[in-house]
Amino acid sequence: MVEVYVLNAFTKDGLGGNPAGVVPFAGHLPEEQMQQIATRLGFPETAFVMKSQKADYRLRFFTPNGEVDLCGHATIGTFSLLKKLNRIQPGSYKQETKAGILSIDVRDDGTVFMEQSLPRFLGDVPVEEVASALNIPPSVILSDLPVRIVSTGLRDILIPVADFTALNSIQPDFEKIAEISRKYGVVGFHLFSLADGTGFVAHCRNFAPLYDIPEEAATGTSNGALGCYLWKYGQISAQQASKLTFGQGYSMNQPSEIVVYLKIREGEISEIKVGGSTSEYRKINFRF
């Protein structure tokens, strides 16, 4: 029997968020069973926690159809769960992932923040190509910002959309998105529209059908990359960069809130942290 916990990360006022599975005692599981659990759960990602020779914990992340190097919301869910189970106390920890060893801050109020890798800007994608996959005219994509692949641990195509109404109404072609994602070696598309007076820096949608995730309600790694993108292209000030709040999941009726902290030194990003709150957990017992 395997104990699996389920909770939502990046909740807003205790609601919404992105569901994640967490297996806190996974050291004995073969990779095949990890994948089976993730597939049966069907959540965007499931995290498997095990001992590490290099950090406090080692985490592996599986989507319903494959392993990925890193997952923001499943990391937030994991360390929140460990605190709820009294396995850890508020403080700083290190996690070993396939994206590197990253620091985690567990705060007294229960929020969790994860360090991300420094950004890599990896080239542009033609506007017409992504517009076709999104079933929108190219004019809906902002012309003064690039459609660019950015990574702070996972590669995504960041796509600036004209406004929230346009963003929310997009009905994408998931097969085309999967084809383009495979072509450019990315996890998926991360769309955003800039501030609209709601208190968010941007509203976002995330499509990753290549990994059997048609749409995701909250993506920590993608929004970390988006914060870096907005800084690089002059959309936020240094003062704003110290706390960026993104909204996601509204098109899915799962409103989510993702907080990104950027540390700027001499005009360059020197540190990225992404985090937020989680829901209460429930436990499932899996038998093989």
pLDDT one-digit tens code per residue, 239-251: 999 999 999 999 9
What would the pLDDT profile of 208-236 be if each residue is shown by its tens digit? 999 989 999 999 999 999 999 999 999 99
Same domain assignment for residues 133 and 237: yes
Statement: residue 189 has pLDDT above 90: yes
Positive or negative, the CA dihedral 161, 246, 206, 225 is: positive
Residues assigned a catalytic role? 45
- pLDDT for 13 equals 85
* Count of domains forming the chain: 2
Whether residue 154 sits in one domain with residue 98: no
Q: Does residue 182 surpass a pLDDT of 90? A: yes
Q: Calculate the alpha carbon distances from 224 to 18, 138, 150, 157, 178 in Å.
A: 16, 25, 10, 13, 22
pLDDT for 93 equals 97
CA 63 to chain centre: 12
Q: What is the pTM of this model?
A: 0.90
Whether 224 and 203 map to the same domain: the answer is yes
Q: Which domain holds residue 26?
A: 2-117+277-286
200 and 129 in a common domain: yes
Give the Cα separation of 152 and 220 in Å (integer). 10
145 pLDDT band (50/70/90 cuts)? very high
Is there a single domain that holds both residue 92 and residue 127? no
In this prediction, residue 223 carries a pLDDT of 96
If asked whether residues 146 and 101 sit together in one domain, one would say: no
Amino acid at 255: P
Q: Is the dihedral of CA 113, 69, 227, 278 positive or negative?
A: negative
How far apart CA 117 and CA 72 sit, in angstroms, is 12
Q: Where are the alpha helices (DSSP H) in the chain?
A: 31-41, 72-84, 127-134, 164-169, 174-184, 220-232, 238-241
List the Cα angle 91/237/9 in 5-degree steps.
Answer: 40
Q: Is 247 left (phi over 0), alpha (psi -120 to 50) or beta?
A: beta
One-letter amino acid of 223 = N
